[in-house]
Structure 1
Amino acid sequence: MIETAPFQARARTVDHLGREQIADTPTAISELWKNSYDAYAKEVSLEIYDGQWPVAALLDDGHGMTKAEFVERWLVIGTESKATGSVVPLDDRNGLPLRPKLGQKGIGRLSCANLGPLLLLVSKRRNAKLVAALLDWRLFENPYLNFADLSIPHIEADSPEEIFPQLNDMADILRTNVTGGADAARAARVAAAWQAVDDLRAAEVEAGHPLPTTLPSKAILDGLSQINFEPRHLSAWGVAKKTSNQGTALLVGNINYDLMVQLPRSVPDGTAKKAQEKFFETLSSFVDPFVDPSKPTILAKNPTFAYVVRAWDGNRSRDIVGSEKQFDRRMLDGLEHMIDGVVDASGIFRGKVKAFGTILPEVVEIAPPADAKISRRPGSTAGTFLLFVASMEFTKAKTTLPAMEYERYEQLAEKYAGFMIFRDGLRVLPYGRTDNDFFEIESRRSKHAGREFWNHRQMFGRIAITREGNPNLKDKAGREGLLDNEAAKSLKSIVENLLRVSARRFFGSDSAIRKEVLPGIESDNKNRKAAEQRAKLRQRQGKQFRSRLRETGKAVPTLLREVSDYVVQLEIRDEVDVVETQRALETYKDRLADLRILGAPKELGPLQNAYMTYREGFQSVQAKLDTIASSLDEAVERISPANPRDLLNKQAARLSNQVRARIISWKKNIEALQKAEFERVSKLASERGKIFQIDIEPVLAKFDRADANYVETSKTLEALRDTHVEDNAQIFAPYVAALENLTESIDLEHLATFGADENMELRSELDRLNALAQLGIAVEIAGHELQAYDDILGAGLRALPDEVRNSRAAQDIAFGFEGLTDQLRILTPLRLAGRKIQRWITGDEIFGYVSDFFRLIMLRNGISLEATDAFRAMRVFDQQSRLVPVFINLINNSAYWLSTAGEDGRRIVLDVAGTEVIVSDNGPGVPKEDVESLFTLFFTRKSAGGRGVGLYLCKSNLAAGGHRIRYVADATAMPLAGANFAIEFRGAVFDGR
């Protein structure tokens, strides 16, 4: 006989679906805010109130609930409204357009249990009464109770003020869920259930388990004996303030540790700081900050949705996180590395890339990995999504950013860095947190930090999906990440490949761009740092000079008056006067030495007059002292002291004391500076060591969680070590070098001042030389070009029929052009105005021209100039005067080097390889070490007659038409094995296509 039986649920199901499913407090808060979003709230807030029993209040201005909706929906787990996709009526949308529903399972409200056990819910729908309910989530931790055994007290009210006087009565009813109440049958079931739980706890405590000794039933009854919710806890709610006639408030009592530490009076120990950091990290970007409002996106429209977390200290509040404190996309525009585009349903990325501060002109396309299975079936495709990633060089020596911007972005990264996912504009957790590496960014970096480039702590990025456009990317039951289905696997594979390919192509150590530009950046930064230090030194010296000039400007006239008066009254009659005069002279000289100004800048500007007045006064005092010294010498000769050695001994003793006093003064200053520097360096060294420890903690934690193996962790630690060693070397190595120079008594101040002054003079001289060099380069280029056109014109004149070539008109043309080129080679480059004619030029036309041009040279040197059918059929739309000289220069170079090689089988071939035109010869080729310098101005290896201008002009002429030229080092696939140049013509047509 077949029987049936229904599923049954214990009350503990609520605990499983709510508190135990939510990973942490910020995740719970985000779930409740998403419920508010689904309720068409414009503003949500979390208010954390201090007091003997702190309370948290989650407030919104959404459409709220009636009493019936509270009973029939809020108290029903897994309501149908989410699953059926029913449309929210227009009257309930708070004046907002239709929003996509973020909640799907109807259990998000249970997240409240994570924040604290006691909940007072107050909700109001427009044109309806308030509904209020009191419940204790600990009731649902009892595995022996059924849903039917629990009763949740609730009331209706006209205003929030009417609720609080009834809280104790509601608490009494709620207490019957432990005591059993008047119903005997229910009372027996409830009493037995709590007795069983209490006995279980007592047995566990007796067995030594670290659990609270207070029995569960008693803990609930004690908590309900004193309800601490007050009207002030609703003071920020729109309904209470009468600024809104709808909304929901969730007041939470006995709040958890993560909320407690947000209060201003909490003790900020290490654990609390980590909780605060994680809280901020999770909620700071709750609303997508990467949306560019100036551009259309595939995102559903997301009108204003403001959020804030406030902590209260009495009547004062402090914003912890919120919309106003959130960074936005505009703050990232200055970052030097960026990827911004769309990934389509096939997994192909198309968008723009910025590398080292320069936006690449072409649209970049990155295909998914060839070995990845990207599903396109409706039930498993990841769908189209937006991607934005930005970063910078987090080593000062390598960045293109100015110092102030670098520091600003460094601080921004400290708070907001991470790679996040947003659905319909709201954050999907836990992506973007430091403890999540879904896209294995840190895992790849641990294997090769330089090549992989991207660093979770130093990148700003997000993936933007929508519920409508990406329906297969669903949240897990615990709202901790995406469900691990085929769509999520495709997303992961696509994004990992995109980050890996972009790093290797544009940003990482393997990228050609980095290899090309980084040496120049490092050199510029080194020079910039030196310039900043010179400017800082000049600024300090200028400040010291101005201050010293102000002081001495007053002191020198005073000293001059004293010395002048002393000279007038000076009278030396005997040995006693000699000693007194010597003492006075030494004192005046000592005072004058203190008024000496060293290191006066060469350009005094408005200080010129003051400095000249000081110099005149200083020299006047010096002259007066010289007068006193002369008078003293004459007096000593006249008096002829009986014991001159005694006078000298006294003078030596005085001078020795003066020298010692000055040395002691310097010594005290040096000791004070050394002590301050020692303390500063000690503190800096300690901080740098701590920073390294902070950086390695998450790496080791990742190993402890088994998210990384030993080899990966070891390599990550070594990469961190290398980064810190490089950064620390920039801080401490110059300091050590300076101290070493001081031990050799090298005057760094004088060297720096001398270097700065010399640098200014050299810079001025360099500007003049640059001007001359520009003129010289212009003349050299003009001479080279005129030579080429002179050859062309000569060949053209020679090709004329004899009767035309020998005519007076043709001879005048030849004479006039020869004279013109001779003069212009000396004076200035030739610049011709007028319309440049562009037309289709065929390879056959080019070959015909250069064949005639080089006929005699080729015959004289035994060289065969050939062109393939593919080259002859090629067409380019451009100026003849721009393209023909390129081929003349290349063929001329080939002819020169072929003439230096063997005499047999000399060949030059014009061909096509793919979409590039090839100029190939079988000469000696270009040495490997010369390839990088090949197109550099004035670079040549010709022993005679080479100017080093031809290839530079080839590249410049081609670039002017949007074409490119390169040297092919590997001649394997080339027509001949010598020198091979490949030209990529923009818009060229091959094979008649």
Structure 2
Amino acid sequence: MIGAASFQTKARTVDHLGREQIADCPTAISELWKNAFDAYARSVSLDIYDGDEPVAVISDDGHGMNRAEFENRWLVVGTESKATEDRTPIDDRNDLKVRPRQGQKGIGRLSCANLGPILLLVSKRKTAPFVAAMVDWRLFENPFINLADLRVPIAEFENKDALLTLVPGLVAELACNITGGGDAARTDRLRAAWAAYDHLFHAENEAGVSNKLRPPSEEILEGLAKIEFKERHLAQWPVWSDERPHGTALLVSQINYDLQVELGDDKTDSSAIEARKRFFETLSSFVDPFFDPADEQSTASRLEFSYAVRAWKGEVPQTIVGTDKQFDRRQLDGMEHLLAGSIDRDGVFRGRVKAFGQWIPEECVIAPPKDLHIPRRADSEVGQLDLYIASMEFESINSTLPRLEFQRFEELARLYAGFMIFRDGLRVLPYGRTDNDFFEIESRRSKHAGREFWNHRQMFGRLSITRAANPNLKDKAGREGLLDNRAAKTLKGIVSNILKQSARRYFGYDSEIRRTVLPGIKASNKEERANEARNKLRKKQRKEFRTKLQVFTKTLPPFVKEVEEFARTLSVRDEAEIAATQQHLEEYRERASEFRLPGAPTSLGPLETPYADFRENIRDLSALLGAAAADLEIQIERINPKKPRELLEKQIARNAAQIHHRIQQWKRTIDILQKSEFERIRDVVGQRNKVFHAEAIPVVARFDRGEVTYSEAVKLLERLKEETDTQNAELFVPYIGALESLKESIDLDHLASFGMEELGDMRAELDRLNALAQLGIAVEIVGHELQAYDDIIGSAIKRLPEEVRQSKAVHDIEFGYDGLTDQLRFLSPLRLAGQRIQRWITGGEIADYLAEFFKLNLSRAEIIFDVDPRFRAMRIYDQQSRLYPVFINLMNNSIYWVGTRRDGERRIALAVVGDEVMVSDNGPGVDAEDIDSLFSLFFTKKAHGGRGVGLYLSKANLAAGGHRIRYVSKGEGLPLPGANFAITFRGAEFDVG
């Protein structure tokens, strides 16, 4: 007998299709934005709000949903309309053109689970009430529950103000999916399923393999109790602000790590930095920025769709990515290398090429590889595509771009470079991210970087596909690239071939254009050879520095401990032990002398921390050896040896042996290098002796064939002789000069290193001067405008009613404006109207202002802020707008460095020591080598975010009032052991009343 059965669906299926299916949080956000696009939204945003329980909100102004649509479409996984043509009624299109659907499988909405476990969905259609529903995605992780047993609470309401009052009821109903309720049979099934799931947790916990902190049912119920959605979370939704009568908002509670780090400003946590970088890299350029502004058809088809991500710290938003922050094609058209055109159905590329700043007059045609069969069947055809790539030379010495333009494109590449794919104007992930190499660009470069010109990090590329023309290029279910079908494989073959052929024809080392043009570009740069030599030497020194530092990082700390043990146990009992102890100490000194590094590079990058540790260990080692030597001297004096001359003779013998050994080591190295160099020069001389003869034979052959006359042949040979002689002179004369310098004991290595350092300093100074010049121009413009507005603002404030003028808000406005104009006055000789008010300012006022200003930062970093009563009691006669920024800069630095402590209390203190005000902390302090540079413009030791301006301006501000500031490295009575800045205020009064 034949029977039949149906598939059974467990709740966990939703978890597999949603949270586990989508690669990461930014990818999930892009999926939800595409849903907003399909709903004919003009704008979509992600707003991340701080608070005790941070909340993320994705909101749009699309057509929205009513209750029936929510139940019959949103709650139905794999909605069929996603796979068919657009059926959106014209009334729901917001006066927009028909949009091809981005969604294909009807599971994009499940991406919400990747943002956080708890979702409050609110939607509104023009002619329907609001609909709200709440989901906890953790319910779907239970492998023992059938999908049909889980229920999503839904509510309808007319007035938006009713939403927040409905939340507790939605939460209570949602909790019934654990505790049970209503149907007795369902309640029994739910309770049994959660008991089994909790039992599984306990079993895994005992085995040490659980990834949860408490039983799942308890964790979910506890999470539901923490839900706190507020009015501010909906303030940016166009529906809430009555800008639009329709749209959808997704409010997420208990947001994941990738969203939380966008609220933080920790610049020392590498995982947070990497998460923010990946977030930006994934969501920037979400809307195709490569539309050609000169192409009317392209411009007409440009999407009317904007996006943004904002982080709200308090009531102040910070835009992280968005339509207004992305680049556009107009910024790229000035690049020196361009490839733009289209690929037809046969895989043939036709377009235009610009190489080294010049457009190639002929059309570029690149056929597909001969061994690649282009499918034409409807189910595997690739279809027509558009291609646009812009790039630049990787070294400024080879570039036709002016220096400032080259730097501008370098900075643009740092943020936005990559080869991306866009479908109907929206980005297809993960293409364009640094970790994706679908077209094997980096793979080819690793084999031959010169020939395979294109570089993912310095190219702006876009492949434009459409759902209509390229239906077989479909996304994977997890949105991690195109489905690996025949069409995708063919696309990869076609585009990879275009990249290879274009590089070899126009841009790479094999191209005739590069061979012809590049020498002229290099010849125009008079510093080419010097730059190449300096770079070669710098590379050698950096490699040597990095290699030695890596070795010393492992070997130096154990050696320091060994010396520390020697110094601690050093004991000379009688005269017989003196020589042996001296020998041990000398051996330690000789070993210590091996820990020498060449000059440190200007920019250390990731080597900053190891180098700081190395310097600290060297200081400790030097102190230990000095202490051991002093202790040994004391003990020798105590013993008072009877035969001191013999001890001296033994020491001379030991020292001479050590010196001889070192000299022999150097001699062996020199012998090897001299022999190698002798053989190299012998080979070079042999090769150069043959060059002229080899080049001259073809000239004689041309004369024999009658192609040139005798006189023409003579001129060719004369020219060839001059060129060969010049090349030989350029090769041998500097070499002879170097040998002569060595003969005269001139230290070439020292000269080169010194020259590089001096040149580096001069270039850095030139960059700073350029930056200051641009700043000066900006200040002049702003100052010109402020001179006109100063009287207007002052007059307007005076016209305010007296009770308003005395309010704190108006005082804050005056203070802020005074501070701004003061800073501008410092930067340029502005003559702004009005007098700046000076008054007595107490330490208590300063302390209270700082505590309020940095309240959130201090709380987040768990820093204790101490204020000495003497500081509170003192007072200074000066401008508020001059003094407060000084303390703000010092506090801001302390918060950063104290935040790098991984254990123990974190403290910042304001105190008075003698007649000086101290701003003190218990952070790592300032290295002795850096103290002289502390107040220099643009000097900073911060790994991320530091500009090196704060301390410079603080010193200048204080000097304007006759005050002084200095850094105190050591001394008694310092409030805290870390960084200590001492300020001497002119005319300050202490211990006042």
TM-score normalised by L of structure 1: 0.55
Residue 159 of structure 1: how far off its partner (Å): 2.8
Q: Given residue 465 of structure 2, which amino acid in structure 1 is its aligned partner?
A: I
Distance in structure 1 (CA, Å) of the matches to 2:219 and 2:209: 18
SS at 2:330 equivalent: helix
Q: How does 1:97-112 map to 2 (within 5 A)?
A: 97-112=97-112
Q: Cα distance 1:259–1:429, how it changes in 2: closer, same or farther (>3 A)? A: same
**CA distance 1:92–1:243, change in 2 (3 Å):** same
Which residue in 1 is equivalent to 2:526?
A: 526
Partner Cα separation in structure 2 for residue 150 and residue 62 of structure 1: 28
Structure 2 CA distance for aligned equivalents of residues 454 and 178 of structure 1: 56
* Aligned with 1:682 (options 588, 594, 600): 600
**Cα drift, residue 249 of structure 1:** 0.2
Q: CA deviation at 1:525?
A: 2.6
Identify if the C-alpha distance between structure 1 residues 690 and 328 changes in structure 2 by more than 3 Å, giving closer, same or farther: farther
Q: Against the structure 1 CA distance between its residues 296 and 268, is the aligned structure 2 distance closer, same or farther, given a 3 Å change threshold?
A: farther
Residues 299 and 464 in structure 1, CA contact (< 8 A), matched pair in contact too: no
Unaligned runs of 5+ in 2: 532-595, 612-698, 721-993
Q: Given the alignment of the two structures, is residue 433 of structure 1 paired with residue 205 of structure 2, yes or no? A: no
Does the aligned pair in 1 maintain the 2:86–2:101 contact within 8 Å?
no
- Alignment root-mean-square deviation, CA: 2.9
Tell me, yes or no, if the aligned pair for 1:940 and 1:946 is still in contact at 8 Å.
no
The CA distance in 2 between the partners of 1:946 and 1:432, in whole Å, is: 55
Cα distance, 1:510 vs structure 2:
1.0
From the superposition, tell whether residues 76 and 300 of structure 1 become closer, same or farther in structure 2 (CA, over 3 Å).
farther
Superposition deviation, residue 4 in structure 1: 1.0
| Aligned equivalent of 1:34 | 34
- Relative to structure 1, the CA distance from residue 457 to residue 403 in structure 2 (aligned partners, 3 Å threshold; closer, same or farther) is same
Q: What is the CA distance between 1:944 and its match in structure 2?
A: 12
CA distance 1:688–1:142, shift in 2 (3 Å): closer
Q: Deviations over 1:203-245 (max 9, x none)?
A: 1110011522301111111111132111110000111101110
Opposite residue 179 of structure 1, the aligned amino acid is: T
Matched to 2:263, the amino acid is: L
Equivalent residue, structure 2, for 1:283? 283
User: Where in structure 1 are there 5+ consecutive unaligned residues?
Assistant: 532-677, 694-895, 902-922, 927-933, 949-993
Counterparts of 1:215 and 1:271 in 2: how far apart (Å)? 28
SS at match of 1:100: coil
1:109-131 deviation line (CA, Å, top 9, x unaligned): 00000000000000001121100
| Residues 1:510 and 2:473 aligned together | no
Conserved 8 A contact 1:299-1:424: no
1:941 is matched with 713
Tell me, what secondary structure is at the counterpart of 1:941? helix
Give the drift of 1:527: 5.2
Normalized against structure 2, the TM-score is what? 0.55
Counterpart contact for 1:44–1:307, Cα < 8 Å: yes
| Matched residue, 1:354 | 354
Asked whether the 8 Å contact 1:441–1:456 carries over to 2, the reply is: yes
1:941 counterpart letter in structure 2: A
Superposition deviation, residue 266 in structure 1:
5.0
- Aligned twin of 1:731: none
After superposition, give the CA deviation of every residue in 1:863-910 in whole Å (9 maximum; x if it has no partner). xxxxxxxxxxxxxxxxxxxxxxxxxxxxxxxxx999975xxxxxxxxx
**Do 1:12 and 1:141's aligned partners in 2 also have CA atoms closer than 8 Å?**
yes
Partner residue of 2:463?
463
8 Å Cα contact 2:293/2:330 also seen in 1: no
In structure 1, how many angstroms separate the alpha carbons of the residues matched to 2:81 and 2:21?
21
> For 1:52-78, what per-residue CA distance to the aligned partner results, in whole angstroms no more than 9, with x for missing partners?
100000010000000111111111111
2:713 counterpart SS class: coil
Q: What amino acid maps onto 2:491 in structure 1?
A: L
How far does the alpha carbon of each residue in 1:772-814 deviate from its partner, in whole angstroms, 9 at most, with x for none?
xxxxxxxxxxxxxxxxxxxxxxxxxxxxxxxxxxxxxxxxxxx
Q: Distance in 1 between matches of 2:714 and 2:313?
A: 82
- Distance apart, 1:165 and its partner CA: 1.1
How much does 1:334 deviate? 1.2
DSSP 3-state at the match of 2:516: helix
Query: 2:522–2:528: 8 Å Cα contact kept in structure 1?
Result: no
Instruction: Measure the CA separation in 2 of the matches of 1:257 and 1:685.
Output: 31
Distance 1:39 1:942, change over 3 A: same
Matched letter for residue 197 of structure 1: Y
**Contact 2:288/2:425 (<8 A) preserved:** yes
The aligned amino acid for 2:602 is: L
Question: What's the CA shift for 1:432?
Answer: 0.6
**CA-CA distance at 1:160 after TM superposition:** 2.6
Distance 2:86 2:58 in 1: 26
The aligned residue for residue 333 of structure 1 is 333
For residues 357-377 of structure 1, what are the alpha-carbon distances to aligned partners after superposition, in whole Å with 9 as ceiling and x for unaligned? 111011110000011111112
SS in 2 for 1:307: strand
- CA drift of 1:350 comes to 0.3
SS class of match (1:47):
strand
Show the counterpart of 1:177: 177
1:99·1:302 contact (CA, 8 Å) conserved in 2?
no
Distance 1:523 1:691 in 2: 41
C-alpha deviation, 1:268, in angstroms: 4.8
Q: Distance in 2 between matches of 1:459 and 1:435?
A: 15
**Counterpart residue number, 2:386:** 386
> What is the 5 A alignment of 1:672-751?
682=600, 684-687=602-605
CA distance 1:370–1:356, shift in 2 (3 Å): same
Conserved? CA contact 1:939–1:947, under 8 Å: no
Look up the SS of the partner of 2:320 in the other structure.
Answer: strand
* Corresponding residue number in structure 1 for 2:16: 16
In the alignment, the residues of structure 1 paired with residue 308 and residue 529 of structure 2 have an alpha-carbon distance, to the nearest angstrom, of 41
How many residues in Structure 1 have an aligned counterpart in Structure 2?
569
Aligned to 1:322: 322
3-state DSSP of counterpart to 2:341: strand
Per the TM alignment, residue 147 of structure 1 is displaced from its structure 2 partner at its CA by: 1.8
Task: Quickly say closer, same or farther: Cα 1:302–1:333, change in 2 above 3 A.
Answer: closer
Would you say the 8 A contact 1:120–1:251 is kept in 2? yes
Alignment of 1:475-486 (within 5 A): 475-486=475-486
Correspondences of 1:595-674 after superposition (within 5 Å): none
CA distance in 1, matches of 2:36, 2:512: 49
Letter in 2 for 1:349: F
Superposition map of 1:462-611 within 5 A: 462-526=462-526
Per-residue CA deviations over 1:75-134 (Å, capped at 9, x if unaligned) read 111112212324210100011011101111111100000000000000001121100011
SS of alignment partner, residue 369 of structure 2: coil
**1:304 Cα deviation (Å)?**
1.5
Q: Which amino acid aligns with 1:495?
A: V
**8 Å Cα contact 1:264/1:312 also seen in 2:** no
Structure 1 residues 300 and 150: CA distance shift in structure 2, 3 A: farther
Matched position secondary structure for 1:345: coil
Contact 1:261 1:268 in 2 (8 A): no
The one-letter amino acid paired with 2:105 is: K
What is the SS of the residue equivalent to 2:451?
A: helix
The answer to whether the 8 Å contact 2:86/2:100 transfers is no
The answer to whether structure 1 residue 366 and structure 2 residue 366 are counterparts is yes
Shift of the alpha carbon at 1:945?
A: 15
Q: CA, structure 1 residues 679+309, in 2 after alignment: closer, same or farther (shift >3 Å)?
A: farther
Contact 2:178 2:194 in 1 (8 A): yes
Distance, in Å, in 2 between the alignment partners of 1:5 and 1:14 is 22
Distance in 2 (CA, whole Å) between partners of 1:100 and 1:182 is 44
